[in-house]
Amino acid sequence: MMTDPIADMLSRIRNALMVERPYVDIPTSRVKVGIAEALQREGYIWDFEIIDEKPRAKLRINLKFGPNGERVIQKIRRVSTPGRRVYSGIAKTPEVLQGLGVFILSTNQGVLSSREAKAKNVGGEVLCEVY
């Protein structure tokens, strides 16, 4: 049994980036699909797809690299953990690297990046930080 599936997802992405894999397969869930959608909207990954295989579906994330092979995602870090939940109102959400990165938040309107959450004027649980 896995205690923190979101941290597992982020570790798999981090490890695939280190060895320059073009994609990574992850066990799927609604929150993980929401995180992948937010990463795609912000331009950190190319795209993702859900692969229906027995006995469990997989989420395949196609990673993005620059023209010279440099990583687009320099750092991806879990903020809120099962033992320490971190919540943020929209007024108190700090910027990541002075606006160069984003936080991924779980809100009542779905999983959003910090830019989208500010535009919709909602806060929520800070899942991870990406830059």
Give average pLDDT by consecutive 10-residue segment, the chain, 131 residues: 90 96 96 97 96 92 94 95 92 80 95 94 95 93
Quote the pTM value: 0.93
- Per the CB < 8 A criterion, the answer to whether 28 and 1 are in contact is no
pLDDT of residue 66: 92
Question: So where are the chain's domains?
Answer: 5-130
Centre a 10 Å sphere on the Cβ of residue 131 and count the other Cβ atoms it contains.
16
Measured in degrees and rounded to the nearest 5, phi and psi for residue 31 equal: -70, -40
Please provide the CATH number assigned to the domain covering 5-130: 3.30.1370.30
First to last CA, the chain: 30
